Amino acid sequence: MSVMGIALYSRDAATTAAFYERHLGASQSARADGSVRLRLDGGGLIELRPIGGVDADPAPCDDGRNGYWHAGVLVGDFDATVKSLRGEGVEWFIEPVFNQVAQVWCGFFHDPDGHVVELVGGQQQYSQVFDGEAAARRARARPGEAALFEHVAFTTPDWARTRRTWTRAGYTVVGSLDLSDGDPRGMVLYYLTGADGLTVEVFTYTAPTARALDPAPRQGFAGLLATAGTRARLEVDRIADFAPNRGRYVDQAGLTVIDAE
């Protein structure tokens, strides 16, 4: 294992956990340190860590700011999941649409805690494939009916450095998705996979990106859950404790990483 999933700071972990159970088939388990871990039926881990005394809204994040951007969940029946979410009154800040370049259905919404989630349906295509075997492995990981926590996305100001770092951590660059024709910022996405099956989606731009947010704990993204061996190869600096005996770190792009155990 390398990157096992993500950790999120939550103001109401019970409500958010129940939401993922209803709509994405997650099962939950409590940990001794007070956090809740969610495992989706198709695979993937999301840890919710209760945090008090924070703003009502989560830390803002967007694709043009360095650091974390969103979590991506792949579902077998996209339309049924969208209907289920709409039935609960979930609002889409990017409405479900078919991406002609990637050849997938996708839409973005906020969970009850305000965390950004991308819902994806279909098998993604690439503008350029760099590793055919890795692309085939990613395609085989597609779920049946069960939801799969399939990718995490972040923005980097230096793709060359990010690629070197993640390659050293055991990840392979699968391919790229060139969306620059429809984006004046010159957007190109790169996809990396590791032994765990989780895909890392890296947003890059020819235009300058905004600085990363202050990594101080607040509601929203806490960090990638990484094994000690992977974390040691990701060029990160320790900034705080996440939980007893578990550190929290940050890299040059402002992406935070947490000791999984």
Tens digit of pLDDT for each residue in 152-196?
Answer: 999 999 999 999 999 999 999 999 999 999 899 999 999 999 877
Q: Secondary structure of the chain in the HEC alphabet?
A: CCEEEEEEEECCHHHHHHHHHHHHCCEEEECCCCCEEEECCCCCEEEEEECCCCCCCCCCCCCCECEEEEEEEECCCHHHHHHHHHHCCCCEEEEEEEECCCCEEEEEEECCCCCEEEEEECCCCCCEECCHHHHHHHHHCCCCCCCEEEEEEEECCCHHHHHHHHHHCCCEEEEEEECHHHCCCCCEEEEEECCCCCEEEEEECCCCCECCCCCCCCCEEEEEEECHHHHHCCCCEEEEEEECCEEEEECCCCCEEEECC
Judged against a pLDDT cut of 60, whether residue 5 lies above it is answered with yes
CATH of the domain at 131: 3.10.180.10
Based on the structure, what is the number of domains in the chain?
1
Tens digit of pLDDT for each residue in 101-118?
Answer: 999 999 999 999 888 999
pLDDT bucket at 41, cuts 50 / 70 / 90: confident
Give the structural domain span for 158.
Answer: 1-261
